[in-house]
Amino acid sequence: MARPTPQQEGFALKPLGYGDPLRLGPYRIIGTLGEGGMGKVYLGRDGSGEVAAVKVLRPELAHETHMSQRFVREAQAAQAVRSKGVARVLTAQTDGGAPFIATEFLAGPTLDRAVERHGPFPEPEVRALGAALARTLGDIHAAGLVHRDLKPSNIVLTSGGPRIIDFGIARPEHGLTLTTTGQAPVTPGYGAPEQVLGQRTGPPGDVFALGAVLVFAASGERAYQGDQIAVVQYEVVHGEPRLEGVPEALVPLIAPCLTRDAAQRPQPAQITSALAPPRDGRQLWKKGGLGDDIAEAESAAKQLATFPPAPGSQNGTAATGPAAGSAAPPPADSPTRRRVLTGLAAGGTLLVAGGGTAWWLTREEPPRRAHPWFALPLQDGEYEEGRAPEPLWGPRDVAFAQSPAPLVSRDLVVVGGKRDARVTAFSVRDGKRKWVSEAAFYQPLFAASPRLIVTGGSDGQLFGVDARTGAVERRHPTGMSVLLAVDARAAYCLVEDEVRCVELVSGKVRWRKPAPLDEFSGGRGISATAAGGLLVLATAKDAAIALDVRTGGKVWSRPGGSTGAGVPPVTAGGEVYLGGQSLSAVRLRDGEEQWSVPAEVNEGWSGPAVQGDAVYASAGSEVRCRGRRDGREVWRREVDGGVFAGGRPVAEGNTVWVTLKETAGVAALDTRTGRAAWVRRHKDGGSVRMTGAGNRVFLLTEGKLTAMPVI
């Protein structure tokens, strides 16, 4: 069965349904663009052919005083700002009839979609983005308003530059919060500390949000992170922003925006002056892949404005009488509305601003992939049960035989290259080589950020490699024997009988602690993971210990429940999952056991894999699925030939993969039922190292790399 191409996965403009208006003010309604809690957004066209996004308050809310007042305030706020950096309000009707706001039709991706598709912006482009946004914030503040909800999804990138949208919770500078204290509408990680605390938010709150937006644009990561909203908000109020992925030259310009003291943040005009983009940086919106996306969307938007008059209308005005349902057919070379809208939707890049609110054209069914570089999972009928499908690409003879497991970083898969074990990156889509670094690769690979890959050489050097180019950005002599773990700020190494924390930027040893010999048998077989401000260490000697990454001080320790030598613990949702003699979940912050299941076989549990609400681990010849929250068994399945106990399963898509013990190969099981989807034998034999990401599983066997599909 043929698999659909990305172009066939189009978006669709929804047709008008029962109760939808045919006309709002001067606009004939063409179709529905989207809907939310407050109302619907329609595509409209006036008598001159100009298209607009028309936002309408839901009828059931129109009579609620609070909602109608907010709707009026949104229209007034958007109209009050005279700036080319915001979505222009064309007209608004808030008294009598159906309240609506019509804004210009913006074509282009939001900032969050642009970063997802094309990766973090280079420094000149971040400067151009920041200067333009700061200039627009200055215009908003000059109108006496505070936006209060600046974030990547509220920034549309057009050929004329970034446009700020959504004035739904904008307020006059002197105004109080919209809701009661503690309930102010805040987007986690972008709302300023004073906004999180429910205090009055002025222009400095928008400056804080701008700083967080620029961190995201420059690094692809949020400045404040956490697995729960409360954790993110706590970090905003009490923690420090994560700036490790931001180019060094930009850190002193962005960091002041994120100062907790609102009075110490710079003014928008100061930000515009300090960022001072180079001349070519101002062309961000017209070049490269992003420029192509914007140009394609704008071309399609122009076609929308050239539709022939609707049946039964004259110059865009609805006709009445017996002839209202008929009209002359359009010229033969004139595009039909359906054809243009379908073609427009297929690209998936068109965004509109409806009353300031961004609405992507809605899909007919949920997306099958979250990012452009994700593969399409196999559907029923696209593979034969029990028989391994053809690889997406490979095998490619790309790595040295003993290369550690590959690392996937966004659209790259990184391994130790064939020649001199140099760090080498390949495209996840087709396996084509992207770059070869000077960094020698004899240690595991880690992604400190979307821009920085960290590994170590045979001489004990710590390398930081630019994920975009392969250039070595960091080179620090450490004398390490094992690179244990990496987070955004530091690398954690085993050096003789010490565990050391080495700062990625400076190479300075932040702290060093003796390896806990009583618990780790001399440090042999040690494995680790860094998460939530802790370094969690484990060994085959059934012990686990957590150290504070800032000081190296011990936070908690517990006997039993290790993952086995060389297989790091897994963290997810504020918990640590461990294998060994028991499969267990312990709370990350204090080590308190949440649940534990003793092993039924001598070799114990493998290292676990966590996906969604499930934990997967093997024991003997069985693969088992257990509930992540309570450890209850969901299913167990026997695997012919047994499962190699020294590794851990890889869960990707609706498959969980395990390495076979007695025969060279891997088995893939359906995560929903545990049934064996297929077994894949390896002719060359040898051990298998696996990594899963983006609806692919990458198999590295004897230096050969293969990308396999999932279901």
Report how far residue 13's alpha carbon sits from residue 31's, in angstroms, rounded to the nearest whole number.
Answer: 6
Alpha helices in 265-370 (DSSP H): 268-275, 288-304, 337-347
Cβ–Cβ < 8 Å for 375, 392: yes
Report how far residue 272's alpha carbon sits from residue 284's, in angstroms, rounded to the nearest whole number.
Answer: 16
Which residues touch 621 (CB under 8 Å, ≥6 apart)?
Answer: 638, 639, 640, 641, 642, 643, 661
**CA 260 from centre of chain:** 26
At 158, list the tokens: 């057009």
Q: Under DSSP, is residue 468 helix (H, G, I), strand (E, B) or coil?
A: coil
Report how far residue 544's alpha carbon sits from residue 538's, in angstroms, rounded to the nearest whole number.
Answer: 5
> Is 55 assigned a ligand-binding role in the annotation?
yes
The answer, yes or no, to whether the previous bond of 395 is cis (omega within 30 of 0) is yes
Eight-class DSSP state of 237: H
Report how far residue 50's alpha carbon sits from residue 68's, in angstroms, rounded to the nearest whole number.
Answer: 27
At 157, list the tokens: 């990138």
The per-residue DSSP string of 313-339 comes to EETTEEP-SGGGG--PPPPTTSPPHHH
Neighbours of 513 (CB within 10 A): 15
Helix H or strand E segment including 142: helix 123-142
The per-residue DSSP string of 570-584 comes to EEETTEEEE-BSEEE
Q: Under DSSP, is residue 180 helix (H, G, I), strand (E, B) or coil?
A: coil
In a 10 Å sphere around its CB, with 0-12 CB exposed, 13-18 middle and 19+ buried, how is residue 56 labelled?
buried
At 703, list the tokens: 């230096």
Report how far residue 72's alpha carbon sits from residue 66's, in angstroms, rounded to the nearest whole number.
Answer: 10
- The strands making up 543-548's β-sheet, listed across from edge to edge, are 527-531, 534-539, 543-548, 554-559
Give the burial string for 258-296 (b: 16+ CB within 10 Å, else e).
Answer: bbeebeebbebeebbebbebeeebbebbeeeebbebbbb
Phi, psi of 91 (to 5 degrees): -165, 160
- Per the annotation, where are the binding residues? 55
- Per the annotation, where are the binding residues for ATP? 55
